[in-house]
Amino acid sequence: MKKYSLLLFDLDDTLLENSSWFDDGLVQTLGEHPLTKGVDEQQFLMNIKQPPRYLIDKLVSGELNTSEFKRERWKSALDFFDVKADIEEIDQLESLFLNASMNFISIDKSVLHLMNELNQHYEIAIVTNGLYDPHQKILNMGLGDIFSKDNIFHAESLGFRKPDSRMYTIALEAFKKKPEETIFIGDSWTHDVLGPMEAGMEAIWINFRGEEKQTDHTPFAIVSSILEIRDILLRTGIEKKL
């Protein structure tokens, strides 16, 4: 394993399970705001987590910034229920959701132990497209001593998003590492496997959904849980595990 000295992690659905904060925070918000009381919570969850493709395309292209995308996502989900809301009401929903959701993020001792252990052997960082403040998430997860502003690379502040090669390059440059010294770890085939491998890195795919590979690329390893990477990354004489 001496060949590899830098580990780059995705955050949401890799280190942090999305349903542990997003779903619960949204359900609480829906029950608190007058506009959304009584709506079908599961249907609303589905709509807001799977917004129209054109909104995602506008976010990726930069036509919408993060705040504008969030507003349009709320509007699209509300439209499904024929609920009309002005910008002020949508911003109220977003603020309620942010406060509620962050309170559902807590320390996962298994992940905390894993990161502390890996941090003794590698330099580690986070590269995330997440729409919500990764620093607050990290603090609530108890990982503030490991990840700071110097090793969290956030799409919102950088102005581009994975799989844009600049997302990976900027992290490599910050640590003065070559791609071949780096392993990227995450749950998205496109963002966390294909993008990093096209940039010359190895990748470990956290395939907790049991999906099929979308291309012929062969990642360093495929696992179903973040906790499975411990034996892969800390064992001697590592080989690809598929």
Sheet strands side by side (includes 6-9):
152-154, 123-128, 6-9, 182-186, 202-206, 221-223
pLDDT given at position 51: 96
pLDDT > 80? residue 232: yes
pLDDT given at position 109: 96
pLDDT > 90? residue 235: no
Q: Can you state the angle between helices 41-49 and 22-32, rounded to 10 degrees?
A: 120
Least confident segment among 114-118, 225-229, 235-239: 235-239
Q: For residues 179 and 176, give the distance between their C-alpha atoms in angstroms, rounded to a whole number.
A: 10
Segments making up each domain of the chain, as ranges: 6-17+107-234, 22-103
Q: For residues 64 and 52, give the distance between their C-alpha atoms in angstroms, rounded to a whole number.
A: 14
pLDDT given at position 239: 46
pLDDT given at position 237: 46
User: pLDDT exceeding 70 applies to what percent of the chain?
Assistant: 96
Q: What is the CA radius of gyration of the chain?
A: 19
pLDDT > 80? residue 241: no
Q: What DSSP string runs through 186-229?
A: ES-IIIIIIHHHHTT-EEEEE-TT-PPPSSS---SEEESSGGGH
pLDDT > 60? residue 50: yes
pLDDT > 60? residue 238: no
pLDDT > 90? residue 78: yes
pLDDT > 70? residue 81: yes
pLDDT given at position 18: 80
Pairing state of beta strands 123-128 and 6-9? Answer: parallel
- Compute CA distances 27 → 37, 137, 176, whole Å: 10, 19, 43
pLDDT > 90? residue 212: yes
- Tell me the pTM: 0.92
Residues 93-125: tens digit of each pLDDT: 999 999 999 999 999 999 999 999 999 999 999
Name the helix (H) or strand (E) containing 6. Answer: strand 6-9
Q: Quick count: other Cβ atoms within 10 Å of Cβ 56? A: 14
**Which class would CATH give 6-17+107-234?**
alpha beta
Q: Band the pLDDT of 2: cuts 50, 70, 90.
A: low
**Cα angle value 36/41/162 (rounded, 5°):** 100
Q: For residues 178 and 226, give the distance between their C-alpha atoms in angstroms, rounded to a whole number.
A: 24
